[in-house]
Structure 1
Amino acid sequence: MSTVAALDVATAWETAVDDAPVAVHAVAGLVAVAGADGTCWVLDTTTGDIVATVTLPGGILAARLSPDGQHLALGGPFGHAVWSRTTNTTLISKTGAWSAAVRWGGTDKLAVASGRRALVLTPDGAQLWATDPAPSTVTDVAWLRENRRLATTAYNGVRCYERHSARPVTEYPYLGSHLALAIAPTGRWICSGNQDASIHIWRTRDGGDLTMHGYPDKIARLAFDDTGYWLASDGAPDITVWDFSGKGPEGTRPRTLRAHETITALAWRPGGAGVLASAGVEGTLALWRATGGRAGARLAPAHARDLDQPVTALAWAGPDLLVTADWEGRVQASRLPAALPR
């Protein structure tokens, strides 16, 4: 694909890691680049220099820095780990349970999917509490109500837990296998991406629900923008963007974004400006004014470019810096202008 529109993109830095990246997360001046085989590189956002390397035996599936950048949580096929920036040591490394999701609830607690349970830990790795076993492996975790309530996905629905509650205090049922979880920053909506190629949506205030069917593939990536009014999802080949403003998406049609054969990564630009970055298996990186046009519109990228290799993960390190990692281990930070071309 050729460039759709001219865009002044400057490379801030570029480095390489010795693995195929599966996750990138950036916050507080750091970028975590997690490799499939079990090494995570912590980089300086300004220079790309390696600050530390952290290992998780058996491989990595998820990586998240704490909001203050002082800790890094990793999850993988055989367990989880927590690293401290202050001491440059791994505070905890536990094996034995599949961990595909980790999520910080502020700077003081961490939720970890651990087999059929979710664990809540302190930053130094001490366990605060654990949920009772779910019907299947916990596939995703998220926080709501200002990080006072934990939500998890597993077979047959979403379950919510209060502090120190092993049993769910609220359940949002939907028959099937749930792969991804997204909660609106407003707290109004909980959404799951599902193996049956659907998105299921619940209103948190009353449990009212609806299902978005018709996708050609499973939904493994869901993301709300900072306003909580727009939800982006995969489901190949199109990205769909649903409008959650007003009464929500029921009875509406999504914007559709097509530039990829299969979507490999997507992330909203911070700040609620309606800009989405996406990447695909064919090697295209695209930027979208994803909330433009009318409901049901098919949007063209505001900018798209072909890369040497497919991007496997990307993350925004603030509103002007986009970090991408391709499957051969090249990590690049691109500085972008405030506005996309029209």
Structure 2
Amino acid sequence: MSAPALDVPLAWEATVEDAPVALSVRAGTVAVAGADGRVWTLDAAAGSVRPALELPGGALAVALSPDGRHLVATGPTGYGVHDRDTGRTVLTETGAWSATAVWADGGQRVAVARGRQALVLDAQGEQQWATAPAPSTVTDLAWLRGGRRLAVAAYGAVRCHERHTAEPVISYPYTGSHLALAVAPTGRWICSGNQDASIHIWRTRDASELTMSGYREKVSRLAFDDTGFWLAADGAPDVTVWDFSGKGPAGTAPRSLSAHRKVTALAWRPGGAGHLATGGDDGTLALWHATSGRPQARLSPARTLPGGSAVSALAWAGSELLVVAYRDGAVRAVQVPPGVTL
């Protein structure tokens, strides 16, 4: 039986003049980055659109600071830092692949991938320190220990650096290409989604490790929920959800969430209710109670919203507003009130 159509209202709809590739939502502000390098900010309450910057060479990712004042956009040839209050933009063309950016210290610092290095900048874009070059291009970054340690994913390992420490203080090896990182909010687990269609897991306490293989496609999207007990991943037409409570997922099977021809976006709803939003290349949007059922259960979505263009990114603006970007330039916000039962 198909899932019921989404019976919650559309809060607003806007259009940007580029194909969105990434979303970031913080402090009532939405940032949308397009493939050609144009970046906009939108009011999360009303959807009004304001140009922010244009990144030469195109964009890959965008990250708003926690207070929503600053944003960093990264792309194939460099990165840009924008101050929304003053309108000041600093563009840095490095000629090196800049895959992502992640904020720390409440928005005082941001780590940016630049080729085989990670740079740590202040909020104005001034470099504070840099990691030593990794063996290959940095593909993802994550902060641990409240922003005191930076995890850097590149071929062969996830390497962790303390502040102002160019050489890694600890490495978590895995022979393969890492595409995505997810760190549990508790700091207990580091997970990488990999080119070889696997998820590799390290327990930070003792560096014990586990590989979950057998995915049909490369795993390029990973996300922990706010509790740190559940990890959602792509890598197949289904989304898999692994249970990290207790001793972790070793010897267990995931739940499978089946709704899309191909998964293109996923995002946990803030809080610990186990609600997950997913989007597909067929334009469908699905909401799940993703932690229900038992291991090996194949779940159906609690609510679905059909669409036209492919979903390119999802992000929650608090727990009651889901922002969705579509490949054709549409950006929509869907209201999901607390009373809506999934």
Same fold by TM-score, threshold 0.5 exceeded? yes
* Matched residues, number: 341
- 1:47 pairs with 2:54: no
Partner in structure 2 of residue 329 of structure 1: 329
Query: How far apart are 1:6 and its partner, in Å?
Result: 5.0
Cα deviation 1:236-280 (Å, max 9, x = unaligned): 211000000111000011010011111100000011210000011
Cα deviation 1:158-205 (Å, max 9, x = unaligned): 000000000000000000111000000000000000000000000001
Percent of residue pairs bearing the same amino acid type: 62
**Given that residues 5 and 304 in structure 2 are in contact (C-alpha distance below 8 angstroms), is that contact kept between their aligned partners in structure 1?**
no
Q: For 2:8, give the aligned amino acid.
A: V
- 1:159 pairs with 2:151: no
**Given that residues 15 and 331 in structure 2 are in contact (C-alpha distance below 8 angstroms), is that contact kept between their aligned partners in structure 1?**
yes
State how far apart, in whole Å, the 1-side matches of 2:304 and 2:48 are.
Answer: 27
**Given that residues 282 and 308 in structure 2 are in contact (C-alpha distance below 8 angstroms), is that contact kept between their aligned partners in structure 1?**
no
Partner in structure 1 of residue 58 of structure 2: 59
Cα deviation 1:46-72 (Å, max 9, x = unaligned): 111123321111100010000011100
**Given that residues 5 and 305 in structure 2 are in contact (C-alpha distance below 8 angstroms), is that contact kept between their aligned partners in structure 1?**
no
Partner in structure 1 of residue 17 of structure 2: 18
State how far apart, in whole Å, the 1-side matches of 2:323 and 2:141 are.
Answer: 24
Partner in structure 1 of residue 261 of structure 2: 261
State how far apart, in whole Å, the 1-side matches of 2:53 and 2:30 are.
Answer: 13
Partner in structure 2 of residue 169 of structure 1: 169
Runs of 4+ aligned structure 1 residues displaced above 3 Å come to: 339-342
Structure 2 residues without counterparts, runs of 5 or longer: none
Q: For 1:142, give the aligned amino acid.
A: A
Q: How does 1:128-143 map to 2 (within 5 A)?
A: 128-143=128-143
Query: How far apart are 1:339 and its partner, in Å?
Result: 4.5
State how far apart, in whole Å, the 1-side matches of 2:6 and 2:265 are.
Answer: 21
State how far apart, in whole Å, the 1-side matches of 2:191 and 2:254 are.
Answer: 15
Q: For 1:315, give the aligned amino acid.
A: A
Helix, strand or coil: the match of 2:223? strand
**Given that residues 92 and 124 in structure 1 are in contact (C-alpha distance below 8 angstroms), is that contact kept between their aligned partners in structure 2?**
no
Partner in structure 2 of residue 309 of structure 1: 309
Change over 3 Å in CA distance of 1:84–1:333 after alignment to 2: same
Structure 1 residues without counterparts, runs of 5 or longer: none
State how far apart, in whole Å, the 1-side matches of 2:276 and 2:332 are.
Answer: 18
Cα deviation 1:8-60 (Å, max 9, x = unaligned): 31111111011110001111110001100000110111111123321111100
Partner in structure 2 of residue 206 of structure 1: 206
Helix, strand or coil: the match of 2:147? coil
Partner in structure 2 of residue 230 of structure 1: 230
Alignment RMSD = 1.2
Partner in structure 1 of residue 101 of structure 2: 102
- TM score, norm. by length of structure 1: 0.97
Q: For 2:281, give the aligned amino acid.
A: V
Q: How does 1:266-277 map to 2 (within 5 A)?
A: 266-277=266-277
State how far apart, in whole Å, the 2-side matches of 1:199 and 1:141 are.
Answer: 16
Q: How does 1:178-193 map to 2 (within 5 A)?
A: 178-193=178-193
Helix, strand or coil: the match of 1:136? coil
**Given that residues 321 and 333 in structure 1 are in contact (C-alpha distance below 8 angstroms), is that contact kept between their aligned partners in structure 2?**
yes
State how far apart, in whole Å, the 1-side matches of 2:2 and 2:217 are.
Answer: 27
Q: Bigger shift: 113-122 or 91-100?
A: 91-100
